[in-house]
Structures are given as structure tokens and as C-alpha cells.
Amino acid sequence: MDYSVARRNMIECQIRTNKVIDEAVLAAMAEVPRERFVPGELQSIAYIDEDLRVADGRFLMEPAVLARLLQEARVAPTDVVLDIGSGAGYGAAVLARMAATVFAQETNAGLAKKAAELYAELNLDNVVPVEGVLSGGCPEHAPFNVILIEGGVDFVPDSIIDQLGDSGRLVAVVRERGIGRATVITRIGDHLSRRIAFDAAVPVLPEFARPAGFEF
């Protein structure tokens, strides 16, 4: 299979048509071999516009949603980024082509090991794999210019928001009453702003799921 053709089709038919115009996002996603970040049996469908399960509780986010989140994050070449729930490493690999440094946080040891191998094979020496409880973020390396949570969440802990630097942006798909809403949280000094950018259906990361029966 010619994955380069599938990659071009993903850019032209899925991402550009979903309001993504940021050339940095388009260029990065055009360069990263998405098929390398899924199990072998899924490589032939690596570029479909669906979430792909790569392990229990971990999914490769569908391309259009990831692209729109990255566009909302306004990643700059000098930015330091925290990628929470990096899974098999695809999102971190894309970010590595857009930012100065990416801290890729994952708790699944098997996924983290495979991702680290791929970062090395792809010469992504600006990706730093880190371990830790996802809902706690990575305070030892804060502050961050951008924080991406790679999966749906029922809540964004204050402890993670506190890791944003001045003018920092956090992007995540926050589930409200069963509806996923891509949310941008921006810090300006001591002030936080929240904005809903678009609706999206994304599997929730187990670490960010509220207990069954929880109500506001």
C-alpha cells in the first residue's frame, strides 16, 4: 500500500475540508507516517477518519479532530508542549515538527516504549518521554506554552491548568452531558479564559472519567 497517497488524501479530504488552514499543522501531519503508530493489523486503515484503538483506554485520535485541536493551540516554533496521554506517540510526533520541545506523557509502559523507539527512528530528538499520573500533568517540567490532552475528558484538573505559563493554551475535548466540546483554556497573567471551539466525539481517557452516576 502506498501510504504517501493515503497521507495526501487525509490532508486534502479530511483535514482541509474540516476548516484547518494552519500551514504548520498541515505540513506536520503531511510528514508524519501515521501508519507507524498503530498495530500492524490496523496499518491499512491508519488514515481513515476514525479513532483507532491502540491499547486499552488509548486511541489514536481521528485526524480531523487532532488537526483542529492543534490549530486552536496556535503552536509556535519556540513553544514547550506537554502532550498528556500521548499513547503510541503520533500526536507528539506531529507536535515535534511544530514546537521546540514536546514532553510526551504516557502511563502505559508498552505504548511508551514503542513510542520512544519510533521517536528515535524518526529522529525526533526534541520529544521527551515522561511517566506519571496523567491527571497530575507534569509539574516538574512546567510551565508549558501549550498543553494537549489526547482524549476526551470529563474534567480538566486545576493542577494541570496551573502548569500553563503566561499566554499558555490548553486544548482538550471536554465532555458535557455526553457531548464532547473542544475547549481552549488560555492563561493571561492570573486570568483564565475558556472558549468552546467545536463539537467532537472522542473516547474518554479513563484517568479523566468521572465515576458512574456522578452528577454536577
Give the tens place of pLDDT for each residue, 81-126: 999 999 999 999 999 999 999 999 999 999 999 999 999 999 999 9
Query: Which cell goes with 159?
Result: 493542577
Mean pLDDT of the chain: 95
Residue 175: HSE in the Cβ half-sphere, 13 Å Cα cutoff = 16
Q: What are phi and psi of 27, to 5 degrees?
A: -65, -45
Element (H, E) at 172: strand 164-176
* Longest alpha-carbon distance in the chain: 51
Provide mean pLDDT across the span 124-135: 95
Hey, is 141 helix, strand or coil? Answer: helix
Whole-prediction pTM value?
A: 0.95
CA distance 18 to 15: 5
